[in-house]
Copies of this chain bind each other. A is one copy, B any other.
Amino acid sequence: MSKFWSDALNSLQPYVPGEQPKTSNIIKLNTNENPYPPSPKVIEALDHFPMEKLRLYPDPDGSVLKEALSHYFELPMDHVFVGNGSDEVLAHAFMAFFRQKKPLLMPAMTYSFYDVYCNLYNIEAEHIPLTDDFCIDLSQYHQDNGGIIFANPNAPTGIAVSLGEIEELLQRNTNTLVLVDEAYVDFGAESACSLIGKYSNLLVVQTLSKSRSLAGMRIGFALGHPDLIAGLERVKNSFNSYPLDMLALASATAAIEDTSYFAQTVQQIISDRNWTTEQLKSLGFEVLPSSTNFVFARHRTAAGDDLMTYLRHENILVRHFTKPGIENYLRISIGTREEMQTLITALEGYAHI
């Protein structure tokens, strides 16, 4: 803190991302990265990129990527917005749409960056409790509001709501924006994209960091009615004209176009998630039903922080949250089958199991 800080800066509560260790002899199951490299088409696009062009500014509109997304999602180009990771896209959406007189509704347990954005942009939030079995119950989102946001599947629980539940919400809630954050949707939930043509207040946000193995390149996007996209463009053009660099655009475009590699790697992760779930259950863990590339699980007797510390000594990183109610849960990303086998073997060796 310093006398040059604005008052608002003093009150910010920044997000704390998962650890990115600098050593490589570690099994990293703490930030939900994809265990597989980006598509060979991505590597090829980067290998063939004319690097001398980097002296020029990139296309401020990111048209090449918007075209690929437009084609993939069968939506016109004016329904697509792209940004420097889905966090930037979410931040712009909060600024564009959620600074309202009424509170923003969100789950009491969800991606913790939402509260950070509320704090950043001075947005009042109302937190709707999850059900006792950690589900989002959208029928509870009926209060007067300045917008609604939830992650589907939700994090850190991994549990999804159905498309029918989302459509019921949209039918009821017509006057404010509904933002569905689909960071993990490709691993087993139903995307709300199919409802975009019917509901002009629906904004869907996705990322290439998880199912497209491109966390290192920072690419996210939003899909919705052109009026919503125009609102996001307005914030973007008041903040940074060129959020996506040339290599991010090239790699993202190739990743979206390679649908078969995408399908194959996603399928492998789903299969290994199901295998891991069964193994954990047989070791005495309760595992929430996951539609993501991670599982959220607690052991019947062992404490969450003890397990995390033990695994760390075994060179396996998992994520642990101290929030009351989930303090005994671990969030474990799905790695390769070999990595998950190593995890299970390590847990078998834990004295209390």
Interface residues of A (CB under 8 A from B): 1-9, 12-18, 20, 22, 28, 31, 33-38, 42-43, 46-47, 51-60, 84-85, 87-88, 91, 95-100, 116-117, 119-120, 175-177, 200-201, 209, 213-218, 225, 227-228, 230-231, 233-248, 251
Question: Would A54 and B88 be within 8 Å (CB), given that A13-B238, A227-B1 are in contact?
Answer: no
Query: Chain B residues near A119 (CB, 8 Å)?
Result: 238
Bound form: Cα–Cα A107–B3 in Å: 24
Residues of chain B contacted by A176 (CB below 8 angstroms): 4
Contact A4 B177 (CB under 8 A): yes
Complex: chain B residue closest to A217, CB-CB:
B245
| CB-CB under 8 A for A34 and B55, given A88-B240, A246-B216 | yes
Contact B175 A2 (CB under 8 A): no
A16 to B236, CA, bound (A): 11
A46 shortest CB reach to chain B, Å: 6
Bound complex: CA A94 to CA B102 (Å): 27
Q: Copies of this chain, how many?
A: 2
Q: Which 8 A-B pairs have the closest CB atoms?
A: A14-B237, A2-B227, A37-B52, A54-B216, A216-B246, A17-B241, A55-B213, A6-B99
Determine which residue in A12, A57, A117 has the highest number of CB atoms from chain B within 10 A of its CB, and name it: A57
Question: Are B57 and A239 touching (Cβ within 8 A)?
Answer: no
A33 contacts across to B, CB distance below 8 A: 55-57
Within the complex, which residue of B36, B55, B241, B245 is in contact with A55, where a contact is CB–CB below 8 Å? B36
Q: Are B28 and A55 in contact (CB under 8 A)?
A: no
Find out whether the CB atom of B235 lies under 8 angstroms from the CB atom of A12: yes
Selected A-B contacts with CB under 8 Å, 13 pairs: A4-B200, A4-B201, A4-B228, A6-B100, A9-B99, A22-B59, A38-B52, A46-B247, A55-B214, A116-B238, A216-B247, A217-B247, A245-B247
**Are B242's CB and A8's CB within 8 A?**
no
